């Protein structure tokens, strides 16, 4: 009899909590990409008013897309006014900060390496997949909270998901490096531009240990790079993997 009473109380409690849980789940699984993009743009100082920067980035991106496996790809590309190093893809929209263009001194091959890398993320829908993964994680955490599961167990689940997400993100970055290298070659850019870009970043990062970085960017370059490459493999590891891929390609010829 006591178990029946407990079951009834539990059922009533679940029904009572269900509507609010469903509302929260709906918010979790619906992504307003336009809102996310606007928020991201505001966070990074808006869009750069420099017409030459927009022209450079637009021309390079069109050239890359035309030579890709998805020449019909619908995309947008914008230059952020941000003074920190920033490049990412939100849904089908690619962002690159003017700080990158200044750091690379307008070298179209190195700029193309960044854009090719982000284009691969767009084509492979890495951003959307990551968003779905995070939503699943949030939904599970919400369910655990709803069921009043032990907070220790909930935290263990949370960190397991975070580790898995980071591991998957690193795989996505390696894939983007490899495919971006092939895309650069197809589009007539230096095939090693991706490798050169990572080498330059690694040198700038490492040089700060002995004083000012070689590229005297605004703010703390080390922190900027660390933030940009969060959940990314180590720079030297990425460079080594590209070199190994180049060597394997030579042996096949």
Q: What is the pTM of this model?
A: 0.74
What is the predicted pLDDT for the residue at 136?
74
Residue 228's pLDDT is 46
Question: 97 forms bridges with which residues in the sheet?
Answer: 80
The Cα–Cα gap between 54 and 182 comes to 24
pLDDT of residue 11: 40
Residue 217 confidence (pLDDT): 47
The confidence score (pLDDT) of residue 30 equals 62
> Can you give the pLDDT at residue 135?
72
Do the beta carbons of residue 137 and residue 165 sit within 8 Å?
Answer: yes
pLDDT at res. 18? 44
Going residue by residue through the chain, which has 253 residues, state the pLDDT in tens, using 9 for 90 and above. Answer: 554 444 434 443 444 444 444 445 445 556 677 888 999 999 999 999 999 999 999 999 999 999 999 999 899 999 999 888 889 999 899 999 999 999 898 799 999 999 999 999 999 888 777 777 677 777 777 666 666 666 666 677 766 677 777 778 888 999 999 999 999 999 999 989 999 999 988 887 777 654 444 444 444 555 554 444 457 788 888 999 998 888 887 777 6
Query: What pLDDT does 107 receive?
Result: 92
pLDDT computed for residue 198 by the predictor: 93
SS3 labels along the chain: CHHHHHHHHHHHHHHHHHHHHHHHHHHHHCCCHHHHHHHHHHHCCCECCCHHHHHHHHHHHHHHHHCCCCCCCCCEEEEECCCCCCEEEECCEEEEEHHHHHHCCCCHHHHHHHHHHHHHHHHCCHHHHHHHHHHHHHHHHHHHHHCCCCHHHHHHHHHHHHHHHHHHHHHHHHHHHHHHHHHHHHCCCCCCHHHHHHHHHHHHHHHHHHCCCCCCCCCCHHHHHHHHCCCCCCHHHHHHHHHHHHHHHHHHC
pLDDT score for 21: 47
pLDDT the model gives residue 66? 95
Given a contact cutoff of 8 angstroms between Cβ atoms, the answer to whether 83 and 218 are in contact is: yes
Residue 47, token pair as written in the block:
């869009």
Residues 183 and 221: their CA atoms lie apart, in Å, by: 28
Give me the sign of the Cα torsion angle 75, 83, 197, 191: positive
- Please give the pLDDT value at position 224: 54
């Amino acid at each position: 009899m006591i178990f029946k009473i407990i079951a009834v109380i539990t059922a009533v409690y679940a029904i009572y909590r269900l509507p609010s849980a469903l509302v929260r789940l709906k918010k979790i699984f619906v992504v307003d990409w336009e809102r996310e993009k606007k928020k991201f743009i505001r966070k990074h100082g808006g869009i750069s008013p420099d017409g030459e920067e927009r022209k450079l980035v637009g021309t390079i991106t069109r050239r890359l897309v035309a030579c890709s496996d998805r020449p019909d790809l619908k995309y947008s590309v914008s230059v952020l006014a941000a003074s920190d190093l920033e490049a990412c893809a939100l849904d089908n929209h690619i962002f690159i900060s003017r700080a990158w263009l200044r750091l690379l001194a307008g070298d179209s091959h190195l700029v193309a390496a960044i854009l090719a890398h982000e284009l691969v993320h767009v084509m492979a829908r890495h951003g959307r997949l990551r968003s779905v993964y995070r939503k699943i994680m949030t939904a599970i955490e919400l369910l655990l909270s709803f069921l009043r599961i032990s907070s220790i167990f909930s935290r263990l689940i949370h960190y397991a998901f975070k580790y898995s997400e980071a591991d998957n993100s690193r795989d996505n970055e390696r894939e983007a490096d490899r495919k971006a290298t092939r895309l650069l070659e197809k589009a007539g850019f230096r095939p090693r531009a991706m490798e050169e870009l990572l080498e330059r970043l690694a040198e700038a990062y490492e040089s700060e240990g002995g004083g000012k970085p070689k590229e005297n960017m605004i703010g703390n370059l080390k922190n900027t790079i660390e933030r940009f490459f969060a959940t990314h493999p180590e720079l030297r590891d990425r460079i080594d993997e590209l070199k190994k891929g180049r060597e394997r390609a030579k042996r096949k010829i």
